Amino acid sequence: MKTRNLLFPIALIAIAVIFQSSILIDGNSKITGDVNIPEDVKSVLDNKCYGCHNMEAKSDKSKDKLLLDKLGDLSKAKLIAKLGDIGEVAGEGSMPPEKFLEQKPEKKLTEDEQKLLVDWAEKTADEMLN
């Protein structure tokens, strides 16, 4: 009887978690979760960053640093920190790394793309703090 009484609240919690983690981006985004990513930012992330920073990527190092497809799963504090990291590496121009760009120079972020990512990361982190 006690086990049966626990099933309903557990089911409600599971439904709430699934609902909360729904996609906020329209279309066939590769990046999911409760992170507001404007279409222009999403395009840069999908085209220039996602190839190395996703669950299926080959490099464990890049996966350890950032998983774009898991941003929405992070706690608020960790997400704010991760947005700070994104803004920092985009602003420095240290991503993608030079060694990678030797093989795929088309993946280099333009100055406009760098600024777009920095501005988005800073704005989103600020909004989360307020």
> Over the stretch 9-25, which tens digit does the pLDDT of each residue have?
554 454 444 444 333 33
- Of the candidates 129, 119, 108, the one whose C-alpha atom is nearest the C-alpha of residue 86 is 119
Q: Is the pLDDT of residue 50 over 90?
A: yes
pTM above 0.85, yes or no: no
pLDDT, residue 35, reads 78
Average of pLDDT values for 85-95? 94
Contact 94, 49 (CB under 8 A): no
- Number of domains forming the structure of the chain: 1
Cα distance between residue 115 and residue 109, in whole Å: 10
- Domain limits at 115? 2-129
pLDDT, residue 83, reads 95
pLDDT, residue 72, reads 87
